């Protein structure tokens, strides 16, 4: 086993030219944009879809089906790409994703659409995981920060622009075009992958696949995500359906750990977590995602409920956080490549996030456009400062042959952390509101007090993230051999 406290010996990176790297990165950005866009693009089209297909009560599952299937398959795709090579697995992912998009566009009923979204998510999980992993094959860690900044900015941009694009398609074309648009984009991603990634090396020995481990990953993670969905539906962590899902997920999680400890080529190598740098990096990623994803949902709600802003005005005030996140990812990625250091950015991001959450808790939002813009801009910058450096950190902490599963674990915990963060802080908000307050009518001071409690909770999570970032050991970023 390689020494997990020091960087592994640098692999022989394929010497791609700057032009080739640029073309590959553009293809990776397109693949990542596709998978991230389809998480949110249907949000503004749900009522139109339900109006055509019926089944209004099933409407939330159009979003949840994609989110769950793409999340639970992320670590599996990462490991398969380590064993079979990035290019063939990414091509399969693009094909499955596009097939799911076609089935979604042609779906005659809501149940058929939900099933098609599951298929689309099965491909989307691979697009997201392998796009980040390929960067580790074409560039050494010292040079990855800049590119990971581009990819993190793409991820943020897709999540924010999805609802806007969905609304435009519904208004000027039809909801079917939300899915048809994936065909030309998917074809471009397939062509770029097929041509540009030919020179990536393939594993030398025939792999032995831990299919039972893959099944147990699905059986453990799917109930956990379903449980979070039931928590959000019932606004209670004690909902019987949620408790049942959490219990079932934990049982399969124990079985997964036992299986992965027993096999020689596990689907999820547990030895990765013996590296303090990898483990702390995963913790920082999960905690920062908990805060970011929760605030993306709750800050606009605060604007509307406490400050009385319209949905449009609340959305406009979120632009600052979006721009901050994209800018922070880009700048932090550039700085990592230039300085060869990642720990200062994780510490700075967590410290600023903690401070801004405390400022909002004590001052509140909606009093001043200038104050709101400044605070949310700094929040966005703090999130961006953590995401792209953490990707480089985690890749640098493991052996090159485990690069795919390492990045996939990071993405998996980022998504799971975001889901738990939304559920946790939403439940905290509802528990501090009087009955019926979500429908309107609660006094403004009661609403402000409830949201202040939420931001104090977010500050607590961000504070834990800061402690974890301070514990992060900085090891030299490997350069070219």
pLDDT at residue 6 tops 60: no
The answer as to whether 1 is a domain residue is: no
User: Which range is least confidently modeled, 29-33, 45-49, 105-109, 287-291?
Assistant: 45-49
Backbone Cα Rg of the chain: 22
CB atoms within 10 A of CB 473: 13
The answer as to whether 204 is a domain residue is: no
Contacts of 170 (CB under 8 A, 6+ apart): 44, 45, 48, 178
pLDDT averaged over the chain? 79
Q: Are residues 190 and 262 in the same domain?
A: no
Show which of 199, 221, 255 is a domain's final residue: 199
The answer as to whether 2 is a domain residue is: no
The answer as to whether 368 is a domain residue is: yes
pLDDT of residue 180: 87
Enter the DSSP assignment of 71: H
Residue 240's Cβ-side half-sphere holds a number of Cα atoms within 13 Å equal to 0
**Share above pLDDT 90 across residues of the chain, in percent, rounded to a whole number:** 9
User: Residue 214 in 3-state DSSP?
Assistant: helix
pLDDT of residue 243: 87
Q: Are residues 437 and 290 in the same domain?
A: yes
Q: Are residues 247 and 176 in the same domain?
A: no
pLDDT at residue 201 tops 80: no
pLDDT band at 3, cuts 50/70/90?
very low
Q: Are residues 101 and 240 in the same domain?
A: no
Contact 293, 414 (CB under 8 A): no
Show which of 174, 199, 224 is a domain's final residue: 199
The answer as to whether 7 is a domain residue is: no
Q: Give residue-wise pLDDT tens across range 252-280.
A: 889 888 888 887 777 777 888 888 888 89
Q: Are residues 81 and 140 in the same domain?
A: yes
Q: Are residues 248 and 352 in the same domain?
A: no
For residue 195, give both structure tokens: 């041509």
Contacts of 48 (CB under 8 A, 6+ apart): 170, 174, 175
CA distances from 186 to 12, 62, 101, 296, 359 (A): 31, 20, 10, 28, 43
Q: How many domains does the chain have?
A: 3
Torsional class of 243: left (φ above 0), alpha (ψ -120 to 50), beta (otherwise): alpha
pTM of the model: 0.76
Q: Give residue-wise pLDDT tens across range 131-160.
A: 777 777 777 766 766 777 777 777 777 766
Q: Are residues 421 and 371 in the same domain?
A: yes
The answer as to whether 251 is a domain residue is: yes
Instruction: For residues 381 and 345, give the distance between their C-alpha atoms in angstroms, rounded to a whole number.
Output: 11
Helix 211-234 vs helix 74-84: crossing angle, to nearest 10: 160
Instruction: For residues 109 and 42, give the distance between their C-alpha atoms in angstroms, rounded to a whole number.
Output: 16
The alpha carbon of residue 331 and the mean position of all alpha carbons in its chain are separated, in whole angstroms, by 19
CB-count burial class (<10 Å; 0-12, 13-18, 19+) for 58: middle
pLDDT at residue 355 tops 90: yes
The residue among 481, 478, 467 whose CA lies nearest residue 8 is 478
CB atoms within 10 A of CB 379: 29
Residue with tokens 């692999």: 11
Q: Which domain covers residue 40, as residue numbers? A: 13-199
Q: What is the mean pLDDT of residues 420-430?
A: 80
pLDDT of residue 206: 65
The answer as to whether 4 is a domain residue is: no
Contact 332, 389 (CB under 8 A): yes
pLDDT of residue 462: 93
Q: Are residues 162 and 230 in the same domain?
A: no
Residue with tokens 């995401």: 387
CA distances from 344 to 53, 324, 338, 386, 462 (A): 51, 18, 13, 10, 16
Contacts of 13 (CB under 8 A, 6+ apart): 137, 138, 139, 140, 480, 481
Q: Are residues 136 and 18 in the same domain?
A: yes
Range list of H helices, 263-342: 276-305, 311-317, 319-339
Q: Are residues 236 and 328 in the same domain?
A: no
The answer as to whether 6 is a domain residue is: no
Q: Are residues 427 and 442 in the same domain?
A: yes
Show which of 170, 199, 228 is a domain's final residue: 199
Q: Are residues 226 and 282 in the same domain?
A: no
Provide the CATH number for the domain around residue 302. 1.20.1250.20
Instruction: For residues 211 and 225, give the distance between their C-alpha atoms in angstroms, rounded to a whole number.
Output: 21
pLDDT of residue 44: 62
């Amino acid at each position: 086993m390689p020494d997990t406290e020091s960087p592994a010996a640098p692999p022989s990176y394929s010497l791609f030219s700057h032009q080739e790297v640029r073309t590959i990165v553009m293809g990776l950005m397109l693949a990542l944009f596709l998978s991230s866009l389809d998480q949110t693009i249907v949000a503004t089209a749900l009522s139109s879809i339900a109006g055509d297909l019926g089944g209004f009560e099933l409407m939330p599952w159009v979003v949840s089906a994609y989110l769950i299937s793409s999340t639970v398959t992320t670590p599996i795709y990462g490991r398969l790409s380590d064993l079979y090579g990035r290019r063939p697995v990414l091509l399969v992912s693009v094909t499955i994703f596009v097939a799911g998009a076609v089935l979604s566009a042609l779906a005659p009923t809501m149940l058929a659409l939900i099933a098609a979204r599951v298929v689309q998510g099965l491909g989307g999980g691979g697009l997201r995981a392998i796009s980040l992993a390929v960067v580790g094959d074409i560039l050494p860690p010292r040079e990855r920060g800049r590119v990971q900044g581009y990819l993190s900015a793409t991820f943020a941009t897709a999540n924010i622009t999805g609802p806007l694009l969905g609304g435009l398609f519904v208004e000027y074309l039809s909801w079917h075009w939300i899915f048809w648009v994936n065909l030309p984009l998917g074809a471009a991603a397939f062509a770029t992958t097929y041509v540009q990634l030919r020179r990536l090396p393939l594993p030398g020995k025939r792999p032995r696949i831990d299919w039972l481990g893959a099944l147990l990953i699905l059986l453990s993670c799917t109930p956990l995500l379903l449980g979070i969905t039931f928590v959000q539906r019932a606004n209670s962590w004690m909902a019987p359906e949620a408790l049942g899902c959490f219990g079932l997920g934990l049982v399969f999680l124990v079985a997964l750990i036992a299986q992965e400890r027993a096999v020689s080529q596990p689907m999820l190598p547990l030895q990765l977590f013996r590296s303090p740098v990898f483990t702390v990096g995963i913790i920082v990623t999960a905690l920062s995602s908990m805060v970011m994803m929760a605030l993306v949902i709750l800050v606009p709600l605060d604007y509307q409920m406490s400050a009385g802003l319209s949905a449009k005005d609340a959305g406009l005030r979120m632009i600052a956080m979006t721009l901050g996140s994209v800018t922070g990812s880009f700048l932090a990625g550039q700085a990592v490549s230039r300085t060869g250091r990642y720990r200062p950015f994780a510490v700075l991001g967590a410290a600023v996030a903690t401070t801004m959450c405390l400022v909002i808790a004590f001052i509140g939002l909606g009093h001043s456009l200038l104050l709101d813009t400044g605070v949310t801009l700094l929040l966005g910058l703090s999130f961006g400062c953590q995401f792209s450096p953490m990707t480089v950190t985690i890749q640098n902490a493991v052996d090159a042959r485990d690069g795919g599963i390492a990045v996939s674990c990071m993405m998996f915990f980022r998504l799971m952390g975001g889901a738990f963060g939304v559920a946790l802080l939403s439940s905290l908000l509802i528990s501090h509101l009087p009955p019926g307050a979500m429908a309107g009518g609660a006094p403004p001071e009661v609403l402000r007090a409830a949201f202040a409690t939420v931001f104090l909770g977010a500050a607590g999570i961000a504070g834990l993230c800061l402690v974890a970032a301070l514990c992060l050991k900085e090891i030299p970023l490997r350069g070219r051999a």
